Amino acid sequence: MGKVNILPDNVISKIAAGEVIERPASVIKELIENSLDAGTKSIELHLKGAGKTSIHIKDSGFGIEADDIEKVFLRHSTSKISNVTDLYSINSLGFRGEALYSIAAISDVTLRSKPGHASSGWQIHLRAGRKLDLRPINMPAGTEIEIKELFFNTPARRKFLKSPTTEMTHILNTFIPYTILHHRTRFLLTHNSRTLLNLSGEETLIQRICKVLNVEEKHLIETAADLPQKCISARLYLGDINIQRVRKDMQFIFINNRPVRNPSINFNVNKVYRLLLPADIYPFFIININIPKEEVDVNSHPTKREVKIKDAYSLISFLASTCEKALLSQGGTKQVKEIPVYTDSPSFSRDTAEPAKVSSSANKQYILYDTPVADENLFVKQEDNLKNKLTSANYVGSFMKKYLFFETQNSLLVMDQHATAERITYERLLRQINEDCLQIQHLLSPVPIKLSPQEMLVWEVIKDKLENIGLSTTLWDNENIALHTHPNLIPNPQIAVRNLLAGEERSRFDSETLARRACRNSLMTGYAMDSNQARHLRSELIKCKDPFICPHGRPTVVEIEERILNKQFLR
């Protein structure tokens, strides 16, 4: 007997839905694209339970004809393409005809729509893909879709949904790029009857960018460039050195007015920013590229998130060159804002060279070898006498205001002053937290910190956790929180707050994780130490429980043996 089965329709529909719909954000992406393709000038999105309970979207587009109201829920039904050649000249955001079919298969859906010329609209109600009701209704022109009980008949998929904060972060990450692309369209987003975004549709593109992302216009660099031989043009909005992020959450790439992911473009633009920013700080940028449609394949990913470009190398080189030229010619200088405090100076001053980061496990020694090692890694962990060597070593100088040199009998110890200071501060901060003796700096007046919508969501969940480590914050307005206190050991509390708000909900952080994230990037390189300060930093590092690795896994000290130098000088 044969082993090959023809799957029944109900199984096929759920498999198809799984390819397109991963979470509530996936549903919202498909619905927004349909609304924009329909020429809407207004989109309202109302959510309950981070979209798991209800997703309700309204638009003012051209609506759905009565004859098509049932067809839109059939698989591969679309008005946007009709033959194979159309796939190579896509002008719309949606075109596959899978979205409504997939959504209806795993939820309870009510769709209402009325074209502008019609005297009445129509309403259709489906559950698990089965039609329950179809009738005419009175309504304004446009389309309205209400989706309830998402994944009700696929409990395994529903089980893997995350917390409301995490799901709302995914929704905002999906929603925001379309608000930037379509700045002439009104957008309203509410969650559990609370307004998260209300964008009028009367802003310029720069105004929309600043409003939705909470950045300042004076820190944006706008530039445009063409690659005539390839018929490529690009408009870029680049953040200068004053917009620094701890993750890549404000980087947007659009190709032919479609939000896309392109790791190669993203990597190379971030690489250009290394001219301005350290390796673990990320920039803000928006890149909108126009390229001939036949040079782009938008059909290579089930959810259209990624596109393939024929001559990607030329495009990437063009963008990197454009970014570098704009940043070096128009980039502003770093603006430093003082934080007013009651006391004269922080307890951990520049003289003691402070900030530190997270902690790690056992002591690790890093020695630079001149012969290959088993794992082909030049930095090899050694359990020996590095602490003794460092204790007795002579300080001989520094390099690039970043590295400190200590001479031993037969080697050179190179200390990363930034990583070392992070280790010191991390252990001090963690000890104060665990012993309930945290030294707090009270600010003379509250300092506002402007947050993105995603950061504001996370802050609402973990604000009590921030209080536990000395970062007292309150809501200032819809876009800002106010900072009232910070630990003495943290010289840049704004960065500490952003580190703790980066990513998803952090409500289950333990003391070590909180201290590690709070200390991250709290001290930057570029401070010139004298010999006394360098020796003091050395002595403070030696006191640490885990001195030779910073809280985030980087070495604090590397040993270069004499034989390596001899080999380099042909001795």
Residue 20: the pLDDT is: 72
Which among 527, 345, 359, 508 is positioned nearest to 429, based on CA atoms?
359
Alpha-carbon distance values, 95 to 33, 328, 357 (Å): 10, 41, 48
C-alpha span between 566 and 571 (Å, rounded): 5
Residue 473: the pLDDT is: 95
Partners of 505 in the β-ladder: none
State how far Cα 230 lies from the chain centre. Answer: 31
DSSP 527: P
Per DSSP, the three-state class of 24 is: helix
Per DSSP, the three-state class of 34 is: helix
Contact 480, 448 (CB under 8 A): yes
Tell me which residue has tokens 């397109």: 20
pLDDT per residue of the chain (571 residues) written in tens, 0 to 9: 666 766 677 666 666 665 678 899 999 999 999 999 999 999 999 999 999 999 999 999 999 999 999 988 887 776 655 555 545 555 657 555 678 888 999 999 999 999 999 999 999 999 999 999 999 999 999 999 999 999 998 888 888 898 999 999 999 999 999 999 999 999 999 999 999 999 998 889 999 999 999 999 999 999 999 999 889 999 999 999 888 888 898 999 999 988 998 889 999 999 999 888 877 789 999 999 999 888 887 766 666 677 788 888 899 999 999 999 998 888 655 554 444 444 333 333 333 333 333 333 333 444 443 434 444 343 334 434 788 889 999 999 999 888 999 999 889 999 998 889 889 988 988 888 888 898 999 998 999 999 989 899 889 988 888 888 899 999 998 889 999 999 988 878 888 888 888 865 555 677 787 788 777 765 555 678 889 999 999 999 999 988 888 887 788 999 888 888 888 888 7
Residues 6+ apart with CB under 8 A from 436: none
Q: Where are the alpha helices (DSSP H) in 182-281?
A: 205-213, 263-273
Residue 369: the pLDDT is: 39
Domain ranges for the chain: 9-205, 215-330, 336-571
* DSSP string for 52-82: TSEEEEEE-S----GGGTTGGGSTT--SS--
Residue 346: the pLDDT is: 34
Residues 6+ apart with CB under 8 A from 322: 223, 225, 234, 236
C-alpha span between 440 and 300 (Å, rounded): 54
Furthest-apart CA pair in the chain: how many Å? 94
Q: 247: which 2 tokens?
A: 């993750």
Which among 126, 124, 142, 144 is positioned nearest to 134, based on CA atoms?
124
- Tell me the angle at which helices 531-542 and 417-434 cross, rounded to the nearest 10 degrees: 50
Residue 205: the pLDDT is: 94
Residues 6+ apart with CB under 8 A from 437: none
Rg (alpha carbons) of the chain, rounded to whole number: 28
* DSSP string for 284-344: -EEEEEE--GGGEETTSSTTS-B-EETTHHHHHHHHHHHHHHHHHHH--PPP-----BSSS
* DSSP string for 430-457: HHHHHTT---EEEEEEEEEEE--HHHHH
Which one of 1.10.357.10, 3.30.565.10, 3.40.50.300, 1.10.10.10 gives the CATH number of domain 9-205? 3.30.565.10
Topology at the third CATH level for domain 336-571: formyl-coa transferase, domain 3 (3.30.1540)
Tell me which residue has tokens 């930057």: 524
Which among 388, 343, 398 is positioned nearest to 526, based on CA atoms?
398
Report, at the CATH architecture level, how domain 215-330 is classified.
2-Layer Sandwich (3.30)
Residues 6+ apart with CB under 8 A from 397: 404, 405
End-to-end CA distance of the chain: 77
Residue 57: the pLDDT is: 97
Contact 482, 446 (CB under 8 A): yes
Which among 392, 395, 387 is positioned nearest to 409, based on CA atoms?
392
